[in-house]
Structure 1
Amino acid sequence: MLAGVVVAAQPGVEDLAVQAEELGLRSFWVNDTPMVHGDPFVALALCAKATRRIKLGIGVTSPALRSAPAAASGFASLNALAPGRIICGVGTGNTARRTLGMPPATAAALEGFTAALQDLCAGRSTEYREGDRVRDVRFLHAGAHVNTADPIEFVVAALHGPKAAAVAGRRGTGLISFGLLDPTAWQALHNARRRAADGTVHDSNSPADSSVNSYVVTALHLLRGDEDPGSDAARDATGHLVLSMLDFAADTPAFVGQLGPDEREAVRKLLDRRGTTATAPDRYTKLYPNYLGRIAAQDRDLVLPSLMNSVALVGTRDDLRTRIAALEQAGVDELLIQPVIDPPSEMAQLVELLT
């Protein structure tokens, strides 16, 4: 299993990228959540100049956040700084849109955006629409400005539903998912991707099925000795992913019905502590501050063992290697962790686990 890391864009991120490269990690990603984190293109530009080998990804951008020409300019500019090392993650913007109090983009918009980025980043023209006006656009200046010669790796974000996986199949891209550690669910995503890819002719910037990668983003805590799986250290290391799931549930009442009674009670407590309700128009301003950051000690009780086990990897070395092997068997190529306590130590722990 290959390994990488996902972090928030912030000053000093390039130092982490250098450490990740020195540890032998394959990829280094930053989030694209404009009102929560820093700008990912600025962050990866710094990383590109500081590193030589590691892949650099944005996980993920969205048509609801950026126009295709603007996003393509960013990716092709990064490709000029780190030729052939750039990964373009695209999705409906589920989180980044909800932090604005807005709905995510549709699967159709995601597919059009992905196709446009693939064309532009390969130096081709693409159809660009604003209202009723449609124009063919392409990079008018190449050379040192942007790099359209070296390939960019594209991945589409998919959760449990097949629509995004089908977009990946039709566009010949890889897949990325967040907190999805169920091998059966991954098999379903890959099946949806393959069905959509059948009979689709891919261009040179849309690789064949056998050459694309699948990524899962999670958090990791390796238990030492007789440490309890529900220890404060385990909750702190994984709580940001659990709270992100509870934030989504608190922001999406229809999703709460899929949870068990303990999880529904955790959502109720979260809303109460944040001083909002599931229907308040401004609830996003109360739910998402410090999103994907280290959780507060008073919120540890919300990090239920059932949720930790669902979205994160907590266990002994043997336990975790067994779970990772099952994911690999289900077609996951690379394990990405989001470290928030001590990123250098957590990255080293990941390398130790996989070697």
Structure 2
Amino acid sequence: MIRSPTGGGTMRMGIVVTAQPGVADLAVRAEESGFSSFWVYDTPVLHGDPFVALGLCAKATSRIKLGVGVTSPALRSIPAAASAFASLNALAPGRIICGVGTGNTARRTLGMPPTTTAELEGFTAAVQGLCGGGTVEYREGDRVRDIRLLHAGPHVNTTDPIEFVVAATGPKAAAVAGRRGAGILSFGLLDPAAWGALHDARLRAADAPHGAGSYVMTALHVLDEGADPYGDAVRDATGHIVMSLLTFAAETPAFAERLGADVRDAVRSLLDRRGTTAVAPDRYIALYPGYLERIAPADRDLILPSLIDALTLAGTHDDLLARIATLEQAGLDEIVVQPVIDPATELAGLAKLIT
């Protein structure tokens, strides 16, 4: 739990990384430091496989929750996804989090659009059913069959529960979470009012109230007193989150048009530096290398103060506690931080914020 000035804070903190060498060691450090969860991104053409990475983490840890953030019907078939999560659940019983989404980033790295909310809901329901040991309807074209995991036993665990969370930035996906009894995960969403709207949409869609958690993935940087709030250290620690928005805007002109003039200028600069345009059919090849990794020093000027403030948690210790308290009041349960500079060292620093 993140410490509160009054001692009453209950906000949890987790860690998210890309699949990388030494991932199991990072998971062990996170567990020993008191973090609640450890996640690996699922973006196949950008990063290593999350199930391989979390399999290593499962064998090396004993308490921390392990999450995939996030898979989607565009990445894996229903039986393959269910078997993978149930297999992880056999290695770390009751500690697995299945994050599901429309594949916004993972699809765009292929030059393809995300899947629909309806496809997301059907996929989530089917994977939940299979991972719970049930029989579900499986469709390929016009052919429909009932399927279940036939190898349930020592290799896959359909007994201990898996926590499901739906990636959501708006009410449609939040409603899926409500109907499926799932939690909500968002990326860079730090507006308390927006979180209140997501929770309301989930509650309205739910058959009954449930205690599923809510998570936000972001960057967090603690400033020393008197340090430049937008200096190189802050831009390096938060730049990957800001760059994710700029990258999305760079290939989505309709979204970019709704942004401020300074952000639109940064988007144009990003396109120019990558040697592509917002309408080039192969723009994703130029835009996504290095995505969600430490930014290059030459791109620090693109990490605008307004976006640092909106998308990340950067400030003095007391400033951060105040912002976190406001998010907690809005119903957020856990902040999941991605360290990108020196993850092991950053873990140690972040641990000072939690009990």
Greater CA deviation, 107-116 or 222-231? Answer: 222-231
Computed over aligned residues only, the root mean square deviation of the Cα atoms, in angstroms, reads: 0.9
Is residue 2:99 matched to residue 1:81?
A: no
Map 1:152-191 onto structure 2 (within 5 A): 152-159=162-169, 161-191=170-200
Counterpart among 105, 112, 116 of residue 126 in structure 2: 116
TM-score (norm 2): 0.96
Residue aligning to 2:156: 146
CA distance in 2, matches of 1:96, 1:279: 19
Report if aligned partners of 1:187, 1:331 keep a CA contact under 8 Å in 2: yes
Note the C-alpha offset of 1:351.
2.5
One-letter code of the match for 2:189? L
Map 1:42-53 onto structure 2 (within 5 A): 42-53=52-63
Report how many residues are paired. Answer: 345
Is residue 2:311 matched to residue 1:311?
A: yes
CA distance in 2, matches of 1:10, 1:43: 8
Residue aligning to 1:300: 300
Residue aligning to 1:134: 144
CA distance in 1, matches of 2:312, 2:253: 23
Greater CA deviation, 220-229 or 79-88? Answer: 220-229
Residue aligning to 2:234: 234
Listed as ranges, the gaps of 5+ residues in structure 2 are 1-10
Report if aligned partners of 2:34, 2:354 keep a CA contact under 8 Å in 1: no
Report if aligned partners of 1:250, 1:256 keep a CA contact under 8 Å in 2: yes
CA distance in 2, matches of 1:187, 1:142: 39
- Runs of 4+ in structure 1 off by over 4 angstroms are none
Note the C-alpha offset of 1:142.
1.2
Identity of aligned residues (%): 72
Q: What secondary structure sits across from 1:325 in the alignment?
A: helix
Is residue 2:16 matched to residue 1:3?
A: no
Residue aligning to 2:5: none
Report if aligned partners of 2:37, 2:65 keep a CA contact under 8 Å in 1: yes
Listed as ranges, the gaps of 5+ residues in structure 1 are 202-207
Report if aligned partners of 1:101, 1:282 keep a CA contact under 8 Å in 2: yes
Q: What secondary structure sits across from 1:129 in the alignment?
A: strand
TM-score (norm 1): 0.96
One-letter code of the match for 1:175? I
Report if aligned partners of 1:9, 1:37 keep a CA contact under 8 Å in 2: yes
Residue aligning to 2:251: 251
Counterpart among 56, 61, 64 of residue 74 in structure 2: 64
Report if aligned partners of 1:62, 1:91 keep a CA contact under 8 Å in 2: yes
Residue aligning to 1:205: none
CA distance in 2, matches of 1:181, 1:56: 23
Note the C-alpha offset of 1:40.
0.3
Is residue 2:291 matched to residue 1:282?
A: no
Note the C-alpha offset of 1:143.
1.1
CA distance in 2, matches of 1:289, 1:226: 35
Offset from partner CA, 1:50-108 (integer Å, 9 cap, x none)? 00000000000000111111000000000000000000000000000000000001000
Residue aligning to 1:204: none
Q: What secondary structure sits across from 2:13 in the alignment?
A: strand
Q: What secondary structure sits across from 2:51 in the alignment?
A: helix
CA distance in 2, matches of 1:327, 1:67: 35
